[in-house]
Amino acid sequence: MTNAGTAASAQIRADALQRPPPIRNRDLPLLSFRAVSKKFTDGTEAIADVSFETHAGTIVSIVGPSGCGKSTLLRIASGLSAASAGEVSLDRTSVGYVFQDATLLPWRTVRRNVELFAELRGVQKAERQRLCREAIALVGLEGFENHYPNALSGGMRMRASIARSLTMKPRAFLFDEPFGALDEISRQRLNEELLRVFLVERFGGLLVTHSVYEAVYLSSRVLVMSARPGRIIADIPVPFPYPRAPGLRFEAAFAALAGTVSEILQKASE
């Protein structure tokens, strides 16, 4: 179904890959948490004393037991929630935020959905349309511009959701279990797509996920959080260079690393 679209977009991606944009201020942290805690008004402590930094051109994954405050952490990073204590620094003028639910407006076509953020920020129509075309091409949704969300599969909705954030040219990209609701094959395919987009756009990504394999496959570092109140109990570097081939998932080194992460995660969940 997507053959015609992906052929054209693969060409665009290939062009873009030949000249990756320079990474600005590689050494300066893009996002930093310093001793951040969050206590809700009902007294629940979601996260406690969380400190870490992420840099442009890297993807950092966060795994942890259910309810450990991973999503809260992203909400704090985006500014949707305020921290109770500690310090967060992030340039919020160009942040992409993808939720677990694609949150597309059902009454808008894919094109109009992707245009939404630029529209909210008052970007001129011609520029908006250009950004929208680029983003749709980047996620391989050409040919589906005039479809309504209810005519798309879950994977395609998520692509549209990612495209919508890409129009902002985000330097920092927050992902809250974006592929959690997808079947395994769609999930793997979208993981590969995401890496391709990542290599084109070179944003700094912070990804919350339930899947250890997804975390290891996508990221440069995996942070493991403890059960609530969530603390970071491990910071594991992932040494595999980008671009990563889909076959990496079946290599021994990959399995070993995923095993290590799983073990720590299991201990954290007890």
Partner 1 sequence: MTGNDREHPAAAAVTSAGPDHGDGKRPERPWHNLARIWGPPLLVLIALNGIWLLLTYVLLEERQRFLLPPPQDVVRNGLLNWRNLSEVLEGLWSTTQVAMVGLMIAIVLGVALAILMSQARSIERSLYPYAVVLQTIPVLALVPLIGFWFGFTFWSRVIVVVLFSLFPIITNTLFGLQSVGPGMNDLFTLHNAGRFSRLWRLQLPATMPAMFAGFRISAGLSVIGAIVGDFFFRQGQPGIGRLIDLYAQRLETEQLFTAILFSSILGVVVFWSFGLIGHRVVRSWYDPTRGPA
Residues that bind partner 1 (CB under 8 A): 78-80, 95, 97, 99, 101, 103-108, 116-117, 119-121, 148-150, 152, 157
> Which lies closer to partner 1 via its Cβ, residue 77 or residue 223?
77
**Minimal distance, residue 79 CB to partner 1, in Å:** 8
Decide: 59 and 215 in contact? Cβ < 8 Å. no
Q: Report which of 232, 229, 241 is spatially closest to residue 34, judged by C-alpha positions.
A: 232
Cis peptide before 29 (omega within 30 of 0): no
**Minimal distance, residue 120 CB to partner 1, in Å:** 4
CA–CA gap between residue 233 and residue 225 (Å, rounded): 6
**Minimal distance, residue 83 CB to partner 1, in Å:** 17
> Which lies closer to partner 1 via its Cβ, residue 183 or residue 263?
183
> Tokens representing 58?
């890297």
CA–CA gap between residue 48 and residue 93 (Å, rounded): 27
> Which lies closer to partner 1 via its Cβ, residue 139 or residue 152?
152
User: CB 6: neighbour CB atoms within 10 A?
Assistant: 16
Decide: 98 and 174 in contact? Cβ < 8 Å. yes
> Tokens representing 110?
């894919």
**Minimal distance, residue 258 CB to partner 1, in Å:** 30
> Which lies closer to partner 1 via its Cβ, residue 203 or residue 213?
203
> Which lies closer to partner 1 via its Cβ, residue 92 or residue 267?
92
**Minimal distance, residue 193 CB to partner 1, in Å:** 21
CA–CA gap between residue 203 and residue 131 (Å, rounded): 16
**Minimal distance, residue 173 CB to partner 1, in Å:** 13
> Which lies closer to partner 1 via its Cβ, residue 114 or residue 232?
114
| CB neighbour class for 24 (10 Å; exposed up to 12, middle 13-18, buried from 19) | exposed
